[in-house]
Every structure is written in structure tokens, then in C-alpha cells.
Chain A
Amino acid sequence: MSKAYLARERMLLSGDQAVALAALHAGVALAAGYPGTPSTEILEALSVLGGPAQWAPNEKVALEVCMGAAYGGARALCTMKHVGVNVAADPLFTVAYTGVSGALVLISADDPGMASSQNEQDNRRYAVAAALPMLEPADSQEAYDYTLAAFELSQRWGIPTILRMTTRVCHGKSVVVPGGPTSEPPQPGFVRDIAGRVMIPAHARPAHRRLRAKLAEITAFGETSDLNQVVGEGTALGIVTSGICYQHVREAAPEAKVLKLGLSYPLPEQRIREFAASVDRCVVIEEGDPVLADALAAMGLQVEGKAEMYRFGELNVARVRRIIARDESPEPVPARGKPPQLCDGCPYRRVFETLTRLDCIVSGDIGCYTLGALPPLSGMDSQSCMGASLGVGLGLRHVLPEAEAKRVVSIIGDSTFVHSGITGLVEMAYNRPATGHVLIILDNGTTAMTGQQEHPGTGRLLDHEPTHKLDFPALCRAIGIDDVTTIDAAADPEGFERLLVEALGDGRLHVLIAKRPCLLAAKRIREYERRAERQDGALEVCGNE
């Protein structure tokens, strides 16, 4: 996607690219996020378009930065994958109370079927739990249109708005005709509102009531908004659906009348009642949890949900046909492909070979290196969420018999360490296990798993321009770690093994930084470094003049 593409030109875009283009057209003043499949390409595409995109250390910080921008009267976009919203949930639930004076759109990119995730949580639940409006696009055109609509809605009611996408909408490509900007973005400026933005209980109690009043207005808006649509004529079969499922439904049941909920929270209850009453049989088609089916049942409507077997994994045309046919027979098992694995020549391979040979108990983390858990390496014993390697490893150290405790190692990648490993490291120095502990930071100089994004430890911004570089060894020492050692485990596996054997049993706190660039990123990293050196040289020349 080049800058040349602007309004009213027919384009073939991914959903992520369409969101980026719409954010640009909406006059977004700041866009922040943390890389996570399938959301990563939004900020990358926005940056290519010349938009204000930046990576944050994690999703919580990204959302807080966007809150500040929206408190300052600007339009802000915050992007993350579904599990990232868990990290950002703390500010999310309360920015719902404070509201915003500009606009704040949060992208939740869900991954039903777990193409590249640790769970398939259904973030439609977050709209209900945080009491925030949610839009669900069904293709790239809607990703574009709904992003604009989300900014409009957020600004009109001063409420953060969630745009929920799923893997197929994010990464699928389809035709988009961008309409271009619909309204002027607001001019940033600070207006003091202490009672509105300082959420002490006395302020938060009326804020909660204000939030519910906004939602009631948005409910009324949804009753007539064309974000919600009825498509088709038949009366025999009616289907209520949202997001990508709409496409599967149209294909699987072309004869059905479909209520497509583009604004899926708050629900347009009156419209749903009328729809349900207009058909002989009303079926809810949704991926993941029975969120809509439960809500419609709670309204007292006679609607059919899906059988429990369809809660798992993505839906597709074939599965939607089965749901409509009430077919609960076992599904054909798709042929197994070749699973992914750590790249040949990955610098982490030697680390996992050593851990396995020493029979370490390995508390792992999220990234490419999680593939070190697969045979033949089998070098990881637990993995759950970003940063958990530290806490889980420390818990094991605290309770296991001494001989076992001394085998426990925490292992984390560089980007994940910055994301949420640092507080775990503070815990390691604060509640020090009797046997000491060892953290291995696998520093390959990039966020490799999601496609080689920058982070604070690389010293480069999202667009690869230089910025302050977080100094891992200095940080670890400042936190109170006894011994911090940097080693290239791929170049010196024997040295690494000696170091690790000593560290496991000496009762001290160790951080071993296994440092070597990602094989796939090394060439690009060298180019960025050379570019930065040339710029430094140019600056020095200027300074001397």
C-alpha cells in the first residue's frame, strides 16, 4: 500500500491495512500498540502511509498513551491482539468511566482457532464487561468503514469504542473503495476536568452512571443505525450474526433472512425482537462463546444457538451449514500439515539443547522460542502468558525440594522481557528464593515471532529510526541481580553450558543474556545500524561546524 492511494480508488487491502487507511482518513493524531498476530500489520501499514504509529512496551502502556492523547482532545487508535486486551484491561475498564474528549478506538484482534495464540478467548465479552460499544467488521471494506464509524461514535459520545476483528478479517484481503474523511478531526487542547478524570470513588460513582446513560443512548442509536442491517427476504429461516460469520452465513444459506449486527454491543433489542418475530426459525451463528445466543435467550426469545462442538475453532461455510442442519455428527479431521519449528540455525537452538541435556525445569514464555518446547528439543515445561516465565519460575524455586529447585530456569525473549518481564525480575530480587534463580534472556534483537518488530531494547522506533536503547545489563543490575552475564550461546555453547551449570547451583541471582541476532532479521538489523551510524556521523559533522 503506497501513499499514492487515497480516497475513492478501488483497492485490494487486508483488513489491517484498511483500518490503517481509515485511521489516517479519520485524522488520527496518535496510534500505539504492541505487536501481536493478527493485529501487528495495522500500525506497520499506518507508518508506511506516513501516519503517527508507535510501538509501546506493552498493551497497557499503549492504551494509557492513547488515553492521554484522547484526554488531550485528539483522535487515538490503540491496537493489540485479543490477549493483549487482558494486559490493557485495567486502564480499559476505567477509561470507560472517564470517557474521552477526543476519540479513542481500541482494536481487539481475536484469534478463534488459535492460528498463533495461547488461547481463543472471545473478546466480545470485554464490551459487555467494560460497558463499551463494539463494532465487528466482516471484510476489509467494513474494516475501513467501521473504523471511521468507530471514531465518529467515540467522539460523539466521548466513549472509547472497541473494533473487534478476527484473524480472517485482519489477514484476509478484499476489495475496498475508501470513502475518505467524513468529519474534521478535533484540534487537541487541554480542558481541565478533575471530577471527570480523577477516578476516586466520589468521582467514579457518578461516572459509572454517566457511562450507563451513554450506553442507553447508543442502544437507541443502534436501533436505527445502518451499522445493523437486515439482508434477504425469506421468512422460513432467520439468522442473527456478526463479523466474519456473516460471510459464511450468506454463502451457506443464501435463502435465509439475516440480521447482521455491525454494532454488536449494546444490542438493538427492539430490532432483534422484530427480526425474530418475522421468521419461523431463528438461529444465532457466532464463532467462539455463545455471547449472542445467551443474550437473546435472556431477552426471552426462542432462538437456536450452536451445539457445544462448534464453540471450538473457527467457523467456515461447511461448519455453518452443519449448525443450520443441527448436524452434531463428528466432523472430518483435516489432514495434519507440517508443524512450525525453530529455524535451522536459530541462535536459540543451542540454548534449548543445553537446557534439555542438563534436565533443567524450564519456565518459558511467549515467542518463537516457545517452539523449543516441541520434540526433539522438548526444552520447556510451562508457558502461559507474556512475562510469566519469571513468576512461575520463582514459585517453583520457592516450593520445590532443594535438588529440584536448583534445576529451575526462567527463559524469556528480549521483547517479552520488556513487555512484562521487568516486574518479574524485581520480584526475583525482592522475594529471593533460598536457592537463588537463573533468568535467561534470549536477546535476538527483534520481536521475531510477530515478524521482526522493533522494541525499546533494540534502540529503534517502529519505523526503524534510532531512539534511546534500553540497556539490559544495567537495568538488571539496578534491579538487584547479583550476576549479569552476556554471552553468544550459539558461538560458544560450551562456555554457555559452563556458565549455566555454575549459576544453577550457587544460590545467587543470575541473568544470562544469550545475545545473537535473529537469523531472519540479522541482515536488516545491520542495515538499520549502518543507517544510524551514518546519521550519527552527519550529526557530529554538523555539531563541529
Chain B
Amino acid sequence: MSERVYNVVVAGLGGQGVIKASDILADAAFRSGYDVKKAEIHGMSQRGGSVSSDVRFGAEVLSPMVPPGEADILVVQEATQIDANRDRLKPDGLLIVPDDIDIDALANRRSANVAMLGVLSRHLPIADEQWHEAIRANLAENLWEANLAAFALGQGG
């Protein structure tokens, strides 16, 4: 297992499933045996405002918040929110944006957040099995098939 701490920020607008995506990511890292911390602001998130959630995992995580400019990966689910979150990313960090997935190939556009996790999964030391378990644990059973398919689509496999 890696000693380093992975810093991921997921961002978008209220209602897009930002928190859900970060829950799945944190759970997948947790199931892989890492120390995990996750931080976000809820409360106003259902009212269509900007939402972001920080997930950190590794051997030992201290602060739950990714320090400004230290995110390894920034996942932005809404193109208009890229500029508002770009300062979270470290200079050589990876930006994942909606254009990285083929939205028209999704059975349901509401699974776009999970499809973007599929893209993210290519860059993180978390096995498919843990991702799949986390998706099932965080979504209702009737959503499993569509979201596992969306995840696979993002993964490109």
C-alpha cells in the first residue's frame, strides 16, 4: 500500500451528485484499507449553488481538507465550475472535466458523476472490486446496473 496521501477534490453544482461521487470515492478507498478523510460543506447544496468535496486517502491522513493548490486530481462535473475550483489543483495536477466522458453513451445522464469516477479510477491505486462494492453500497439497488455501466464507460473498458 502506498505511503503517500492522495488528494482529490470533486466539484460541481448542487443536485449533480458531487457529494454522492465523493462518498463513493471515499468508501472505495476505505474498502481498500486506506486511512480516509472527507470534508465538504452541506446545507446550502440543494439550492443549486457551488458544491465541492475533498477526499484524502493514504497511510495516515491528518486534516480532512485538501490545502489550497495541493489537489492531485480535480474532478469538475460542471464546465462552468472549472475556473472557480482551478486554484485547488497543484501545478502539475490532473483536471478531469465533463468532456472526458461521452455523455450521450450514458443510459441515464444522472450517472455522469459515476462515469467521471470511472475516469478518475484510471489514476488511483484502488482496485475495480472496491469501486464496484462502493457503488453498490452507496446507491439503491435499482441504480446499480446503470451506474456500474457508467463507471465502466468512464474507465474506458
A residues within 8 Å of B by Cβ? 12, 37-38, 115-116, 139, 167-168, 171-175, 244, 247-248, 250-251, 316-318, 332, 334-344, 368, 371, 449-451, 520
Contact = CB atoms under 8 A, between A and B. Distances in A.
Interface string B11-27: 00110000000010011
Interface in B34-82: 35-50, 52, 61-65, 67-68, 80-81
B72 to A, nearest CB: 15
B48 A338 contact: yes
Contacts of B65: 168, 248, 316-317
B84 interface: yes
A338 B81 contact: yes
Give the bracket for the number of chain B residues in contact with chain A: 35 or more
Contacts of A116: 41-44
20 contacts: A12-B36, A37-B42, A116-B43, A139-B37, A167-B41, A168-B39, A168-B64, A173-B23, A173-B37, A248-B63, A251-B67, A316-B67, A337-B52, A338-B50, A338-B80, A339-B49, A341-B47, A343-B46, A343-B48, A520-B46
B43 A173 contact: no
A443 B154 CA distance: 43
Interface of B: 13-14, 23, 26-27, 30, 35-50, 52, 61-65, 67-68, 80-81, 83-87
Contacts of B49: 337-341
B87 to A, nearest CB: 6
Contacts of B85: 335, 337
B49 to A, nearest CB: 3
A427 B87 CA distance: 51
A171 B84 contact: no
A251 B44 contact: no
The 4 closest A-B pairs by CB, nearest first: A337-B50, A116-B43, A340-B49, A340-B47
A38 B63 contact: no
A244 B63 CA distance: 8
A334 B87 contact: yes
B47 A343 contact: yes
B139 to A, nearest CB: 15
A250 B5 CA distance: 14
B42 to A, nearest CB: 6
A167 B40 CA distance: 9
B102 to A, nearest CB: 26
A316 B68 CA distance: 9
B62 A247 contact: yes
B87 A335 contact: yes
A338 B64 CA distance: 23
Candidate in B48, B52, B85 with the most chain A CB atoms within 10 angstroms:
B48
